[in-house]
Amino acid sequence: MNLRILLVNPWIHDFAAYNLWSRPLGLLKVAGYLDSLETELFFIDCTDSIEIRKYGTGRFRSERIEKPSLLRQVPRSYKRYGIAAEEFVGKVKEQLPLDLVLMTCVMSYWYPGAQRAVELVRETAGDVPIILGGVYATLYHEHASRCSGADFIYKGPLSDSIGFAIRTFGFRPKKRRHVSARFRAGLQGGQPFAPLLTASGCPYRCHYCASDLLSKGYERRPADDVIDELGGLFNTGIRDFAFYDDALLFDPEEHIKPLLRKIVAKGLNARFHTPNGLHARFLDREIARLMKAANFRTIRLSLETVDHQRQEVTGGKVGNEDMKSAVKYLKDEGFTKDEIGVYLMYGLPGQPLDEVREGVEFLKDLDVRINLTEFSPIKGTKSWEELVRSGVIDEGLDPLLTNNTVFSYLYSGYDPQEVEGMRLDVKSYNAK
């Protein structure tokens, strides 16, 4: 008999959240693996409640909830983003009886959402085994073992050990004779957009990033595989595709250029977006031209800081001259200020606010959108170690306090009014 497995993407508990084409990619990958076994899969995405806006992005439905005591000092309201709890319970009931539940938790500081989902599954489905994976389970294995309520904490990216985790509960599903990708399309859940991954991991090791902690090195998919997936999703009616790669432009002659040529040749009437910042260093005239021909509408580049020394010390992925050239190539092809956004971080360890302001002015001169992002420390990274060494945080810091909003407010040492002034200035510049 097929094993009945429920996959759950729990709620976001946060001060702010907006859906920029996000889907639980790790869970989709797990679904792909399980789909090759004799299983019957069901999926509940607690964040599946968005009011669609431009290009399929949107606002999540949300409800105000009580702030955890650790966050009391933050003067913002705290919310649960996603479907109502009763709706979740109703959906779980529809799938009973279940043999197994697999859950993810995408951001470590959203763990209260996973805790709530575990509680409700227990109340509704009895003592069905629950396996928790994802970023929180990987980076905070001990915390998740102690606090999540799940029976098994799965650490790391998807590998054969997911089979081990399932066997722990006495299940040994056989391989299916005919494998199909039927579940992938079903998982889209009627969303008008889809995320795409053409490779996992990243060859760089930036001090503030967890890419190498969450992937087993940098690994590409064959271009034809990506094209098949894209074509299949397009045939289901999806028109907006977001590349979620960490290093989409790396080694361009071997990777992105051949892929973009194939996309252009396919002539799909689709739109493409790159919400993860691209490496400006690799963006040359030909890539800009291919992106225009393929119909890219949202391009995000990563600068993080304008300070040359900090760029080098934290990983050397980009320099100011790279950014200037990349923006010029994009503008030459007709991309507008609204379509080109650049990420600029504030709150990096030891970063003065004047450095961020300098970055803002640099980007204004380039006439691009400025995407200010708050630094949040990720356990296991060099930036984390630096903050622990300098006594700013404790190694045992609760994941809740690594929330970007919280971190900037409580630990960056900036005057909140000055930060607010800078944010308002950027907002009015972006709106022009």
Distance of closest approach, residue 244 Cβ to ligand SF4, in angstroms: 11
According to DSSP, the residues that pair with 121 across neighbouring strands are none
Element (H, E) at 168: none
Nearest residue to 60 (alpha-carbon basis) of 8, 105, 12, 2: 12
Distance of closest approach, residue 383 Cβ to ligand SF4, in angstroms: 11
- Closer to ligand SF4 by Cβ: residue 255 or 317: 317
According to DSSP, the residues that pair with 60 across neighbouring strands are 50
Nearest residue to 139 (alpha-carbon basis) of 383, 378, 377, 382: 378
Distance of closest approach, residue 125 Cβ to ligand SF4, in angstroms: 37
Interface residue with ligand SF4, options 246, 322, 374, 386 (CB under 6 A) = 246
DSSP 182-207: HHHHHHTTT-SEEEE-SEES-S---T
Interface residue with ligand SF4, options 5, 132, 165, 202 (CB under 6 A) = 202
Are 426 and 418 a contacting pair, CB within 8 Å? no
- Closer to ligand SF4 by Cβ: residue 202 or 259: 202
The torsion angles phi and psi of 302, rounded to 5 degrees, stand at -105, 125
Q: Is 220 in the site for ligand SF4 (CB under 6 A)?
A: no
By CB under 6 A, which span of 109-117, 187-195, 197-205, 258-266 interacts with ligand SF4? Answer: 197-205
Q: Is 245 in the site for ligand SF4 (CB under 6 A)?
A: no
Q: Is 381 in the site for ligand SF4 (CB under 6 A)?
A: no
Interface residue with ligand SF4, options 27, 166, 209, 372 (CB under 6 A) = 209
Distance of closest approach, residue 205 Cβ to ligand SF4, in angstroms: 6
By CB under 6 A, which span of 146-154, 177-185, 199-207, 405-413 interacts with ligand SF4? Answer: 199-207
Are 85 and 113 a contacting pair, CB within 8 Å? no
| Count of alpha carbons within 13 angstroms of residue 147, beta-carbon side | 19
Per-residue contact flags (x/-) with ligand SF4 for residues 295 to 334, judged by CB under 6 A: --------------------x-x-----------------
Q: What is the DSSP letter of 221?
A: P
Look up residue 184 and give its two tokens.
């992938």
In the complex, the residues that contact ligand SF4 under the rule CB under 6 A are 202, 204-206, 209, 211, 246-247, 315, 317
